Amino acid sequence: MSAPVLSVRNLSIDYVGEDSDFHAVKDVSFDIAKGEFFGLAGESGCGKSTIAFAIARLHQPSALIRRGEILVEGRNVLDLDKKALEKFRWTEVAMVFQSAMNSLNPVLTIEAQFHDVLKTHLGLSREQSRKRAEELLALVDIPAERLKSFPHQCSGGMRQRIVIAICLALNPKLLIMDEPTTALDVVVQREILQRIDVLRKELGFSILFITHDLGLMAQVCDRIGVMLEGELVEVGDARQIHTAPTHPYTKKLWASMPRLRGAQIGGEASL
Amino acid sequence: MAFLLRRLAFYLAAFIAAATVNFFLPRVMPGDPIQIMFGSANANLTVENLNALRLTFGFIDAPIWQQYLTYLQSIFTGDLGRSIRYFPAPVSEILGRATIWTVGLVGIATILAFIVGTGLGIFAAWKRGTRADTAISLLAIFTTAVPAVVISLLALFIFAYQLRWFPSGYAYNPLLDPALSWTYISSVIYHGTLPMVTMFIVLLGGFAITMRNNMINLLGEDYIVMGRAKGLSENRVMFWYAARNALLPTVSNLAIALGTVVGGSLITEVVFNYPGLGNVLYQAILARDYPVIQGQLLIMTAAMLIANFLVDVSYVLLDPRLKKA
Amino acid sequence: MKQLLVGLSKNKKAVIGLSILVIILLVAIFAPLLTPYGASARVGRPHQPPSWEHWFGTTRIGRDVWTQMIYGARTSLAVGFGAGLMITVIGTVLGIIAGYMRGKVDEVINFFTNMILVIPNLPLLLVLAAFIGQASPLVIALILGFTSWAWGVRVTRAQTLSVREKDFVKSAEMLGEPKWRIMTFEIFPNLISIVGINFIGSVIFAVITEATLEFLGLGDPNAVSWGIMLYNAQNASALTVGAWWDMLAPCFALALLGLSLALINFAIDEVANPRLRTGSRLNRWKMLVRTGEGRI
Ligand SMILES: Nc1ncnc2c1ncn2[C@@H]1O[C@H](COP(=O)(O)OP(=O)(O)OP(=O)(O)O)[C@@H](O)[C@H]1O
Ligand SMILES: [Mg+2]
């Protein structure tokens, strides 16, 4: 096996309070291999988003990384200076936010939101950006005319796919998706995940997929980590986590899930 | 477009409301309205002149609604009556002359204050919690909490009377004749600077605080975090992701802030004895020159409505969500 | 409500603002004990500079400036809080009704509110006061109270619109509670901070506007207030003749009162809106980063 794309080592994150701290992430370690679809599950408030933000150093006061390392391709993200960090973001780690519907800037056209990232990182001109943006939109089945639209003129599912297209603009090594589909109905949700799975196989990036829907996760992921109140209590194969969970909390999670529906999305899509 | 037309209709209604106040006020006061309105001028008014004035203000032998229509008609034909104090000078002429000075003074001060204040607000919000933020916030609180009249008087005391850097009154050296010469223009600048800077300070804090709070409210929004996640430069995120969006509520607050602009300008002009609308109004109040006082309300309302309309237009231009609506 | 008060007691701006306000209040209440002179009595020669007998000098007609200032505080506080209360009550009641009832009622209230907001306030007040003649502080307070509630309606209505969608309001509706009960006991308590901001803001506005109207010569020249002090000083050309104390004393008083109220207002905003709060959490965070106990 080659070196992992992402390696989180003994990560602890606190939210600083007036006189005591809230330990949101406690000594968490896990790896994501190249091309792997990794899932992070756990109930609301267990610290999943906190980890996701920390990976791209997007956490803001009062979040504070107390201990640990975040290695992307062997480089500790926490050591990057301001310039290196700006360069690192999006070229190596791109991110779909928990509410991807609201993560497009309402006053800029879709085109401008492709262009600023392409210009900043690759120095592309307007025309070059437009061509590249058209290709990217094609990947997620969105017609090129949409480039001239503003976000409010697109439907929720469309916006979601546009964000994913922007994420792929620089061929990142890792795509973080923080509950990217919770606001969508089940059909659209499936469609988008299938699409991403196909793209992953084509382009070879890894995925960190966050959700509290363990059932959905078991359908799409290669490996799964289960979190409980800031701790990573179990990491394993999707199949193992599904059929033979070892930690009592994982069992409890399964017990609270409705029956699994449908086959593996990955399997279906590769037909 | 429909949006702007609706706003225009609304502004027309507001203007008529202001005119209605003018119409009814003398009539609901105890005593004879004609005596109230023109009493101070009985001595130097001929019968014809008095009759003309009565007609302008709707004092005719007819039911009240006809009087009202007569008054509205005079207003919409631009007839605001004549000044009692400076009889027979028409009110519109007196106010027109003063308006030029006020628009110059207030216009420049407001635009500068908006640009600088908004800039300070953006900076304070971006650096929130730092010393710079605290300093800007306190400065802004201070300038919004201290009455314009106090700020003006202090400026006058310090810079005109103590330091003698600036003159204490007038728009230009009264010995000069208005002309397009450097002497005249430099005199206008010399006399206008202190009142202008004072207005600027009066307005600055309000703009800064509004922008700061609007922007801080937005900083947690996902599209701003995404802007940072995209690895864009700090300036790009600060201006095009955060400030550009925070500008929308700021601009819609601007409409209300314009009331402060109008009020502040009145005071500044009185204190600095500047020959704009404020000073004309002050003189009119002292002489109880009611036609001028009433005309003033209409002019100021009209100015405020036009400014509001410009704000609406810029809002439509700034917010893509409104353009096609 | 309790939360708000606890938050305020920990907020530095609130504590400073409130302390200044209390001092001004005490000075106003105990004015007769703090000066040997009567407020309107001529007690010295005209335009005496500050001295041991006359701490802040005398006016052109020989009144004691310090005495006028502390008695004037009574007027400013009374007009400010009286008019402020009126403005807030009218604004809150109309705002909640408009936001909760919606439909026709809302349209009517909203239309008038917006109309009043675009007619410039000070010129309108000037016209009103000019026709009334020499308006006493009480009359000024009443005019302000009746004409200046529009901003309060706007913000209260906006807030009501979001509160009325909350679950506890919906469940009260399901239980068939009468509308007035819902508005008073379910909605109003959730608007406390907005109402507080509106109240303090209105007090500031009333204090400033009263002084302004009086300064412009629309007040009752026999009243004892900071605005009338300014008016008299202006008429006496105090600055031109070098009697700066005559002008600066009321200026200082107005600035101090305005500042204390604005600090309180800003603090309420900070406490009520967690996003605006910067305070001690952030300081501790910065300290931890500096001492290397964590990384950002
Ligand atoms: N800015 C903050 N200040 C203080 N505590 C916070 C802050 N942000 C999050 N927390 C706390 O940290 C914990 C972890 O939050 P996080 O957002 O990572 O949860 P999550 O697992 O993503 O939950 P969800 O599934 O609801 O998105 C939560 O208990 C939350 O209350
Ligand atoms: Mg989350």
Report DSSP state, residue C275.
G
pLDDT, residue B324, reads 55
Task: Report how far ligand 2's centroid is from the alpha carbon of A232 (Å).
Answer: 15
Per-residue pLDDT band at A70 (split at 50, 70, 90): very high
Q: State if residue A45 touches ligand 1 by the CB under 6 angstroms criterion.
A: yes
pLDDT, residue B86, reads 76
Domain count, chain A: 1
Q: Is the per-residue pLDDT at A176 higher than 60?
A: yes
* Residue A264 belongs to some domain of the structure: no
Beta bridge partners of A227: A232
pLDDT, residue B251, reads 86
pLDDT, residue A147, reads 94
Residues of chain A found within 8 Å of residue C282, distances taken between Cβ atoms: 61-62
Q: State if residue A103 touches ligand 1 by the CB under 6 angstroms criterion.
A: no
Model pTM?
Answer: 0.86
Per-residue pLDDT band at A1 (split at 50, 70, 90): low
Shortest Cα–Cα distance, A140 to chain B (Å): 19
Q: State if residue A159 touches ligand 1 by the CB under 6 angstroms criterion.
A: no
Q: State if residue A180 touches ligand 1 by the CB under 6 angstroms criterion.
A: no
What are B247-258's pLDDT values in tens digits? 988 887 787 778
pLDDT, residue A264, reads 46
| CB contact (8 A) between residue A116 and residue B129 | no
How far is residue A212's CA from residue A194's CA, in Å, rounded to a whole number? 18
| CB contact (8 A) between residue A99 and residue B226 | no
Per-residue pLDDT band at A62 (split at 50, 70, 90): confident
Looking at ligand 1, which atom is closest to the CA of residue A47? Answer: 18
* Closest CA to ligand 1's atom 6: A15
What are C27-37's pLDDT values in tens digits? 999 988 888 88
- CATH value at residue A86: 3.40.50.300
| CB contact (8 A) between residue B281 and residue C126 | yes
What are B226-235's pLDDT values in tens digits? 999 999 999 9
Among B133, B214, B221, B230, most A C-beta atoms within 10 A, so best to mutate, is B230
How far is residue A177's CA from residue A94's CA, in Å, rounded to a whole number? 9
pLDDT, residue B323, reads 66
* Closest CA to ligand 1's atom 31: A45
Q: State if residue A16 touches ligand 1 by the CB under 6 angstroms criterion.
A: no
Per-residue pLDDT band at A52 (split at 50, 70, 90): very high
| CB contact (8 A) between residue B240 and residue A97 | no
Residue among A17, A18, A64 minimizing CB distance to C296: A64
Per-residue pLDDT band at A259 (split at 50, 70, 90): low
Shortest Cα–Cα distance, A163 to chain B (Å): 10
Q: Is C104 on the interface with A (CB under 8 A)?
A: no
Q: Is A148 on the interface with B (CB under 8 A)?
A: no
Q: State mean pLDDT over A138-162.
A: 90
pLDDT, residue A270, reads 35
Shortest Cα–Cα distance, C113 to chain B (Å): 11
Q: B251: which 2 tokens?
A: 């601009």
Among C11, C285, C291, C293, most A C-beta atoms within 10 A, so best to mutate, is C285
| Chain B, nearest residue to C115 by Cα | B14
Quickly count: other Cβ atoms within 10 Å of residue C150's Cβ: 23
* Residue A270 belongs to some domain of the structure: no
The least confident of B12-16, B154-158, C41-45 is C41-45
pLDDT, residue B185, reads 80
| Chain B, nearest residue to A176 by Cα | B229
Per-residue pLDDT band at C77 (split at 50, 70, 90): very high
Q: Is the per-residue pLDDT at B46 higher than 80?
A: no
pLDDT, residue B180, reads 75
Number of B to C CB contacts under 8 A, please give it.
Answer: 155
Shortest Cα–Cα distance, C208 to chain B (Å): 6
Residue among B227, B318, B324 minimizing CB distance to A105: B227
Q: Is the per-residue pLDDT at A267 higher than 50?
A: no
Q: Is the per-residue pLDDT at A261 higher than 60?
A: no
The least confident of A56-65, A253-262, B189-198, B309-318 is A253-262
Shortest Cα–Cα distance, C263 to chain B (Å): 7
ipTM of this predicted complex?
0.87
Q: A270: which 2 tokens?
A: 């590769």
* Residue A212 belongs to some domain of the structure: yes
* Closest CA to ligand 1's atom 17: A49
User: Is there a contact between A118 and A158 (Cβ–Cβ < 8 Å)?
Assistant: no
Among B110, B131, B146, B306, most C C-beta atoms within 10 A, so best to mutate, is B146
Q: Is the per-residue pLDDT at B40 higher than 80?
A: no
Domain of residue A202: give its range.
Answer: 6-258
Q: Is the per-residue pLDDT at B41 higher than 70?
A: no
Among B110, B153, B279, most C C-beta atoms within 10 A, so best to mutate, is B153
What average pLDDT does chain C have?
88
* Residue A242 belongs to some domain of the structure: yes
Paired sense of beta strands A6-15 and A63-72, if any: antiparallel
Give residue C273's identity as a one-letter amino acid code: N
* Residue A1 belongs to some domain of the structure: no
How far is residue A147's CA from residue C172's CA, in Å, rounded to a whole number? 47
| CB contact (8 A) between residue B231 and residue A106 | no
Q: B252: which 2 tokens?
A: 């819609």
| CB contact (8 A) between residue B228 and residue A89 | yes
| Nearest ligand for residue A51 CA | 1
* Domains contained in chain B, CATH given: 92-322 (1.10.3720.10)
Q: State mean pLDDT over C174-193.
A: 89
How far is residue B1's CA from residue B274's CA, in Å, rounded to a whole number? 40
| CB contact (8 A) between residue C126 and residue B141 | no
Q: A194: which 2 tokens?
A: 């299938």
Residue among A19, A59, A61 minimizing CB distance to C282: A61
In sequence order, the 6+-apart residues with CB closer than 8 A to the CB of B181 are none
pLDDT, residue B325, reads 43
Task: Report how far ligand 2's centroid is from the alpha carbon of A50 (Å).
Answer: 7
Q: Is C263 on the interface with B (CB under 8 A)?
A: yes
Q: C4: which 2 tokens?
A: 């708000």
Shortest Cα–Cα distance, B179 to chain C (Å): 30
Shortest Cα–Cα distance, C286 to chain A (Å): 9
| CB contact (8 A) between residue A95 and residue B229 | yes
Q: Is C287 on the interface with A (CB under 8 A)?
A: no
Q: Is B132 on the interface with C (CB under 8 A)?
A: no
| CB contact (8 A) between residue A16 and residue C288 | yes
Residue among A103, A120, A163 minimizing CB distance to B231: A120
What are B88-97's pLDDT values in tens digits? 788 888 888 8
Q: Is the per-residue pLDDT at B24 higher than 90?
A: no
pLDDT, residue C199, reads 94
Q: Is the per-residue pLDDT at A268 higher than 50?
A: no
How far is residue B60's CA from residue B62's CA, in Å, rounded to a whole number? 6
CA nearest C85: which of C146, C22, C128, C133?
C146
| CB contact (8 A) between residue C119 and residue B270 | no
Task: Report how far ligand 1's centroid is from the alpha carbon of A64 (Å).
Answer: 13
Half-sphere exposure of C280 (CA within 13 A, CB side): 11
Per DSSP, the residues of chain A read -PPPSEEEEEEEEEE--SSS-EEEEEEEEEEE-TT-EEEEE--TTSSHHHHHHHHTT---TTEEEEEEEEEETTEEGGG--HHHHHHHHHHTEEEE-TTGGG-S-TTS-HHHHHHHHHHHHH---HHHHHHHHHHHHHHTT--GGGGGS-GGGS-HHHHHHHHHHHHGGG--SEEEEESTTTTS-HHHHHHHHHHHHHHHHHH--EEEEE-S-HHHHHHH-SEEEEEETTEEEEEEEHHHHHH---SHHHHHHHHHSPPP-SS-HHHHHT-
| CB contact (8 A) between residue B231 and residue A116 | no
The CATH homologous superfamily to which domain C38-260 belongs is MetI-like (1.10.3720.10)
* Residue A269 belongs to some domain of the structure: no
pLDDT, residue B43, reads 62
Residue among B21, B168, B219 minimizing CB distance to C127: B21
Q: State if residue A15 touches ligand 1 by the CB under 6 angstroms criterion.
A: yes
Task: Report how far ligand 1's centroid is from the alpha carbon of B280 (Å).
Answer: 61
Residue B288 CA: distances (Å) to CA of A67, B27, B36, C127, C133:
76, 16, 9, 10, 9
Looking at ligand 1, which atom is closest to the CA of residue A46? Answer: 21
Q: State if residue A50 touches ligand 1 by the CB under 6 angstroms criterion.
A: yes
Q: Is the per-residue pLDDT at C195 higher than 80?
A: yes
Q: State mean pLDDT over C139-154.
A: 92
Residues, chain A, total? 271
